[in-house]
Structure 1
């Protein structure tokens, strides 16, 4: 069984990467209420600080679909586009391999 995932790349206008990352991160409270969103990461590139990645893992395909139509997505796509140099690149995906950190003292 595969784990549905999603990767979205946001290319900010020059100098706007920090603000784009901040606005995307502001959606966290909405994501925390999504039982089917297992992992939600906002990453800002070290190589290009105006590039921001959103990476998600979901319980199932229905959870991914609900997330993409949920409150977090609505907030992100209503606040971020004016700061972007290009349209976000949305990549629905499937997780192929994974290593997680230990959850506590062993």
Structure 2
């Protein structure tokens, strides 16, 4: 069950789209190691516009994910047109497949 989430909107600096996408793809390995991150998606919304959507069972897991990603985010700021916007969300409904069951 997931109860809380994050929605992060990222705008790449013009010409830095490939670097932003590479950073997002590289983040997957780190996120897979986080047992409390139940859902994690990196999305391209349009040219140079990206979003990360993730969901967690509770606030402690969400906070642990934020702390783990803080350094990676700081290393990528030069590739962003402006700092990413981060919205804390409540999950009101979800369909999450049980993988490996």
**Secondary structure of the equivalent of 1:69?**
helix
2:38 match: secondary structure: strand
Per residue, is there more helix in 1 or in 2?
Answer: 2
Q: CA RMSD in A?
A: 2.1
Q: Unaligned 5+ residue runs, structure 2?
A: none
CA contact (8 A) 1:3 1:94 kept: yes
The gaps in structure 1 that reach 5 residues or longer are: none
Once the two structures are overlaid, the 10-residue window that deviates more, 25-34 or 11-20, is 11-20
Contact 1:37-1:57 within 8 A present in 2 as well: yes
- Take 2:24 and 2:98, find their aligned partners in 1: how far apart are those partners? 27
Larger radius of gyration: 1
Residues of 1 paired with 2:99 and 2:41: CA distance? Answer: 17
**What TM-score comes out, normalization by structure 1 length?**
0.81
Divergent runs of 4+, >3 A: 99-104
Residues 11-54 of structure 1 deviation map (CA, whole Å, 9 limit, x = unaligned): 11123223212212201111111111001100011xx3201101
- Structure 1 residue 74 corresponds to structure 2 residue 64: no
